């Protein structure tokens, strides 16, 4: 998977598309586990600050590595 688009050089739609591609919902939470990683949120909601250009992908990811 390519690196996440930089918030300074990409649009919100490009960042949203990256998140959707990187963390696809397969609609089977028992098999996937992403919702557990993101504390019950879907990836788009979890990465909202990144998509909006407020925080980098790495900063938001660090929130979920604790």
DSSP string covering 27-65 = S-HHHH-HHHHTTT--HHHHTHHHHTTSS-HHHHHHHT-
How far, in Å, CA of 33 to CA of 51, rounded? 22
Phi, psi of 29 (to 5 degrees): -60, -30
Q: Residue 13 falls within a domain, yes or no?
A: no
pTM of the model: 0.86
pLDDT digits (tens, 9 = 90+) for 13-27: 999 999 999 998 877
Range of the domain at 56: 25-63
Domain count, the chain: 1
pLDDT digits (tens, 9 = 90+) for 21-54: 999 887 776 777 777 788 888 899 999 999 999 9
pLDDT of residue 66: 64
Q: Residue 12 falls within a domain, yes or no?
A: no
pLDDT of residue 58: 96
How sure is the predictor about 60, in pLDDT bands with cuts at 50, 70 and 90?
very high
How far, in Å, CA of 43 to CA of 16, rounded? 10
């Amino acid at each position: 998977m390519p690196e996440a688009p930089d918030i300074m050089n990409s649009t919100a739609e490009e960042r949203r598309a990256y998140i959707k591609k990187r963390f696809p919902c397969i609609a089977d939470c028992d098999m996937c586990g992403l919702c557990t990683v993101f504390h019950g949120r879907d990836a788009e909601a979890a990465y909202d600050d990144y998509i909006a250009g407020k925080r980098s992908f790495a900063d938001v990811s660090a929130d979920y590595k604790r």
